[in-house]
Structure 1
Amino acid sequence: MSHQKIRKVKNRPEQDLQIQCVTWFRYQYPSEILIHIPNGGKRSKVEAARFKEMGVLAGFPDLALFRKSNQYGALFIEMKASAKHETSDSQASMINSLNTLGYKAVVVSDFETFRRVVNDYLRKQF
């Protein structure tokens, strides 16, 4: 009898939502540039310090859409699994800073909101 380890599937609703949103985006807008900013995740203290030295900024949004639209230089999206999950202080501060600097930065907690925000941004309807 084989003793295989059974991997427990982790419940990661924010990641699942982001994958759903990015998958839709890539299909809908194949020529646009939308990237994930890998700021989060668990790291050792040494690796976290190294990432900070390399330019990681606490609170930076999860997604960046590099397209000018009306007065905005780019769109940044902070993903939250539900409306109940509030932004951290560093996330709220970064979103405020990005908006002040002439970018559009928003928090999205569901697919329909993501779809509306992206479509409005790319169609310059906000």
Structure 2
Amino acid sequence: MTNEAYEQTKLFKWAAFARNTYKELDLLYHIPNGGKRNQKGAFNLKRQGVRAGVPDLCLPVARGKFHALYIELKVGKNKATQKQKEWIKRLTEQGNMALVCYGWEEASAVLLKYIRLKSNEEL
């Protein structure tokens, strides 16, 4: 399991407990765009709509002035790719909150702050 996969697993374990208080976390899901694939598998997934750079996680819940929250999860010195930065920019332009979080703890803190946003607030 990669470091990012490990951190994402920890985040979803946290969310399983936190959803007792924050029911919105039931809607949190992973977008399985990453990972190494052989050429045939990659070709088939691309035909099915997989897009390079799409953030790892989505919480399709409107809060504050945002339609949804997208998180690109990174670990250590890993940085967002240019395609990931473009997706984050475009998702933000469409009224979503989209950002990079380093590790499950930062991602969980962002999720809680987002869920608690009041109307027209920003994070």
- When normalised by structure 2's length, the TM-score is 0.87
Q: Which residue of 2 aligns with 1:7?
A: none
Matched, 1:88 2:81: yes
What are the Cα deviations for residues 54-77 of structure 1, in whole angstroms up to 9, with x where unaligned? 111110011111110011111111
- Matched letter for residue 95 of structure 1: I
Counterparts of 1:27 and 1:80, CA distance in 2: 22
What is the CA-CA distance between 1:111 and the residue it aligns to? Answer: 2.9
Counterparts of 2:57 and 2:16, CA distance in 1: 13
The runs of 4+ residues in structure 1 deviating greater than 3 Å are none
Q: CA RMSD in A?
A: 1.4
Matched, 1:48 2:38: no
Matched, 1:101 2:91: no
Counterparts of 1:68 and 1:26, CA distance in 2: 20
Counterparts of 1:112 and 1:60, CA distance in 2: 21
Counterparts of 2:110 and 2:101, CA distance in 1: 9
Identity of aligned residues (%): 34
- When normalised by structure 1's length, the TM-score is 0.85
Counterparts of 2:91 and 2:16, CA distance in 1: 24
Higher alpha-carbon deviation: 30-39 or 65-74: 30-39
Show structure 2 runs of 5+ residues with no match: none
What is the CA-CA distance between 1:80 and the residue it aligns to? Answer: 0.5
- Larger relative CO (CA 8 A, sep 6+): 1 or 2? 2
- Matched letter for residue 103 of structure 1: N
The structure that has the greater radius of gyration is 1
Alignment length, in residue pairs?
115
